[in-house]
Structure 1
Amino acid sequence: MTITYVLSGFAVGLLVGLTGVGGGSLMTPLLTLLFGVSPTVAVGTDLAFASTTKAAGTVAHRYRGTVHWDIVRHLCYGALPAALLATIGLKYFGALDKEIGQIIRYSIAFSVLLTVVALLFRGRMQAWVLKHPEKQLQGTKLTIATIVVGAILGTLVTISSIGAGAIGATILVLLYPRLSPAEIAGTDIAYAVPLTAIAAFGHWWLGSINWVLLGALLLGSLPGITIGSLAAKAVPEKILRGLLATTLTGVAAKLVF
């Protein structure tokens, strides 16, 4: 089974490298559906997985100067308290209970569907915002909106482990349409590091991290994401995103039904 986990980590890492979509939308449903891992443990293990891989990504983006730290700070103002409150809520209501596990399962499905929307319509949404500059938020309103978005994503990520990748990047595109794709990616990854770390620590406190599983996934994902990143330019992005969106839609349906 350990070899299977390593291969799964490799496959997810490869897809993340090719598409840029966060591993949570792939890894968490995979652990739940294919390996029968409980939703809570799948979320906790994936958060620890994400905090490790995103930390490495942040170092690279910081070196390239593609992180807007003021946006990261405002996102964290909302996301980090929300992650703590969501963890306390899971503790209070019993994160490992069957009923809570089912709620988390539905939360994962909802987050996966949001990821599909982000994959398919991000370009169109960005084009619309750029064509209507009067609709763009400025100054204090933009700051407040960024903090609120951070709080929503912090809650979503802590409960489902999904949201800090494609969903977060899409919302950043809508709020800050003038940023380059590299700046969107760097800023999105940078704020996700403390968020996933705090959420992972919370799940460690809840006892919902499988450390052996985590090690096996990382063993496969690190070479996978490297190969995927190097091969990304050779594969048409539209085809990859279309296949990924179709797969994730099926995953969401399977999680619900």
Structure 2
Amino acid sequence: MQIDGMNSIAGLLVGTIVGITGVGGGALMTPILVLFFGIAPQTAVGTDLLYASITKMFGTAVHHNHGTVDWEIVKRLAWGSLPAAALTLAWMTFSGGHQVKNGFIIQAVGIALIITALGMLFKEKLHAIGKNFRVGDSEKFKNVQPVLTVVAGIVLGVLVTLTSIGAGALGTVMLVYLYPLRLSSNKLVGTDLAHAIPLALIAGLGHLSLGNVNYDLLVSLLLGSIPGVLIGSLISTRAPLTLIRYAIAIVLGLVAVKMLSV
């Protein structure tokens, strides 16, 4: 087994960002692997999914100990995302979808990055809309919350399985709209991290069965990301989350342009 120090440094950087914000696992790591390390897109997606699931276990443990995980919301998301991930993997297996050209995967990742970046930029507006709906028509909003959360999970399940992107960045945007009063910023991060674990694990194991995982790369990333996510989770309560979110959104937008122009 060969350990690559540069891959570990990348894992440390992304792991720290994930620990602080709950965002950046797939959205940052997959483009880094493809653009900077020359990893084949399908291998980048598969390896990143397993890397993310293991990394986020450590971050979730920290948030759980601090009481910043809403497990009821996690369950609602999982009711949609896990079956959607399994069905997407079944489609990839039986239709040969995992053998699509790298260009298709790159285009899909680029589009997912644009959606994610826009969601992050307009996160506060979505929060305001959700809050007004929640306060103005409380009973109706509470009645549709569970169903809309499951639907959000379905969207995340398909998107994450295909591109490894969305569980963190897009997931937090959806939760901000759906639970504008229930989730504080810390609970938003912890809840999103907790939901991402089973989703990324199922999708990652599916890609493993398709041969889309590089073990040496996976170990190298984990050596950096595990301490990174622990550090990030510990300092998350003191981090300027809004500033970091805007910075990540801008970076994702630029990376998306690069991916789509490849």
Retained in 2: the 8 A contact 1:47–1:200? yes
Report the Cα distance in structure 1 between the residues aligned to 2:60 and 2:240, rounded to whole angstroms: 26
Q: Which residue of 1 aligns with 2:104?
A: 103
Matched, 1:184 2:185: no
Matched, 1:72 2:67: no
Report the Cα distance in structure 2 between the residues aligned to 1:11 and 1:113, rounded to whole angstroms: 21
What amino acid is the match of 1:34?
F
Report the Cα distance in structure 1 between the residues aligned to 2:132 and 2:235, rounded to whole angstroms: 33
Q: Which residue of 2 aligns with 1:167?
A: 170
Retained in 1: the 8 A contact 2:10–2:224? yes
From 206, 227, 250, the equivalent of 1:246 is: 250
Worse overlay, 139-148 or 161-170: 139-148
Gaps of 5+ in 1: none
Return the TM-score normalized by structure 1: 0.90
1:14 to partner: Cα distance = 3.3
Retained in 2: the 8 A contact 1:14–1:228? yes
Worse overlay, 82-91 or 5-14: 5-14
Q: Which residue of 2 aligns with 1:157?
A: 160
SS of equivalent to 2:115: helix
Cα displacement string for residues 117-138 of structure 1 (whole angstroms, at most 9, x for unaligned residues): 2322212221232234336653
Matched, 1:223 2:227: yes
Matched, 1:199 2:200: no
Q: Which residue of 1 aligns with 2:53?
A: 51
Retained in 2: the 8 A contact 1:22–1:164? no
Q: CA RMSD in A?
A: 2.2
1:52 to partner: Cα distance = 0.3
Report the Cα distance in structure 2 between the residues aligned to 1:144 and 1:222, rounded to whole angstroms: 34
Worse overlay, 57-66 or 192-201: 57-66
1:19 to partner: Cα distance = 4.3
From 132, 142, 146, the equivalent of 2:145 is: 142
Report the Cα distance in structure 2 between the residues aligned to 1:138 and 1:18, rounded to whole angstroms: 30
Retained in 2: the 8 A contact 1:14–1:227? yes
Report the Cα distance in structure 2 between the residues aligned to 1:227 and 1:25, rounded to whole angstroms: 20
From 4, 7, 10, the equivalent of 2:9 is: 7
Return the TM-score normalized by structure 2: 0.88
Retained in 1: the 8 A contact 2:93–2:210? yes
1:79 to partner: Cα distance = 0.6
Retained in 2: the 8 A contact 1:75–1:146? yes
Report the Cα distance in structure 2 between the residues aligned to 1:169 and 1:144, rounded to whole angstroms: 17
Alignment size in residue pairs: 256
SS of equivalent to 1:138: helix
Gaps of 5+ in 2: none
Worse overlay, 186-195 or 235-244: 235-244
Report the Cα distance in structure 1 between the residues aligned to 2:248 and 2:142, rounded to whole angstroms: 36
